[in-house]
Amino acid sequence: MYDFTPTENQELIVSTARQFAARTLAPRAAELDVAGGFPRESLAEAAELGLLGINVPERLGGVEAGAVAYALAVIELAKACAGTTVAMTVSNMVAEVVTKFGTPEQQQEHVPRLCSGEYVVGGFALSEAGAGSDPAGMRTRATPNGRGGWVLSGQKLWITSGTDAGLFVVWARTSDAPGSQGISAFLVRGDAPGLVRGKPEHKTGQHASTTTPLEFNDIELGPEALLGEEGKGFRVAMMALDGGRIGIAGLALGCGLAATEFARGYALERQQFGHAIADYQAIQWMLADSATELEAARLLTLRAAWLKEQGKPFTQEASMAKLAASERGWAACDRAVQVLGGFGYTREFPVERYLRDVRVTRIFEGTSEIQRIVISREIARRFARATG
């Protein structure tokens, strides 16, 4: 049923991503990990190469290569620098969201600017202090201004690329309907009066990616800012996160694969008791477990991407891919540190960075616990349909 043999177009995208990663991302990764900051130059080059609109139609400035090509490209990019890659995955997600739910006018105004890098990158502003895994706790509000538009007020937390993004998709309550009802999505320019970007968080990893709070101080929005239907924003967010989870799965896989490849090379060279440590079964089994688990997660990720590309339901598969890739990516990085021993715990080698960078993949775009909830619900729904 599934054929993951790369097409010519997919191979072109992967080759482009791999060369860009080796030429631009890898040489700066260690420096950005120490100094932090936002990799504007790297992202501008990514935009020139079409890597900010991989699954976006050509008519809107994308390369229209499909979800499978996107997943494969993210894996290659994350091997070099997970922090820069996460900014790219979020921006790709924002471009896809506007493409899917935007009016023709919104698409033409915003998507080409996202793909070209004119907006630098896009931002996804959903989470709040009391509304992380539970969007029903959202307090940010958009109140009608009497002129067909809205006044946006509230705060968001943990916004990737919050320092530099030129366009945000922002979710806010537009009514007091219970639960996730009454939530709407809006397009907010990065230069909107009343938008305040907070200081970047001091994080464990992914230091090449800035993560900030945002404040919306009575921002005036016209009617054209509403994305999708009023009160239907929760559906927009959930569909966006389904696709976003494929990107995070690729991100986790890239970290795990990079760590495993480095550990393998180290094990072949490192001598103990007169032998390369790769000769010892303890090391062999760690590398074997990582290779097997990562390959299984890769296939889950490609299956989810293929289903998305075919226009088939993929919610369960995306959650499975994200769960498996993030959990097994962490395990692979942890084993890599163990293979290197004391060296693995120092910044002399990159495996400790891979470990820190991969850890957050079990949290953002839905925690591992949320993925299990999504998977179990989808299993129950499919069983009910099959027996109904």
Q: Which amino acid is at 367?
A: T
Q: Are strands 183-189 and 141-144 parallel, antiparallel or unpaired?
A: unpaired
Provide the 8-state DSSP code for 278: G
Beta carbons of 359 and 204 less than 8 angstroms apart:
yes
The dihedral formed by the CA atoms of 168, 122, 297 and 381, expressed in degrees to the nearest 10 = 30
Strand (E) positions, 149-201? 150-160, 167-173, 183-189, 195-197
CB atoms within 10 A of CB 7: 13
Decide: helix, strand or coil at residue 205: coil
From 76, 293, 352, 365, active-site residue:
365
96 assigned to active site: no
Integer angstrom CA distances of residue 320 from 18, 25, 239: 26, 29, 15
CA 311 – CA 62 distance, rounded (Å): 18
Strand (E) positions, the chain? 122-125, 141-144, 150-160, 167-173, 183-189, 195-197, 211-221, 226-227, 271-272, 275-276
CB atoms within 10 A of CB 15: 13
CA 55 – CA 250 distance, rounded (Å): 15
Q: For residue 177, count CB atoms less than 10 angstroms from its CB and return exposed for 0-12, middle for 13-18, buried for 19 or more.
A: exposed
Place of tokens 């993004």: 165
Enumerate the active-site residues.
365
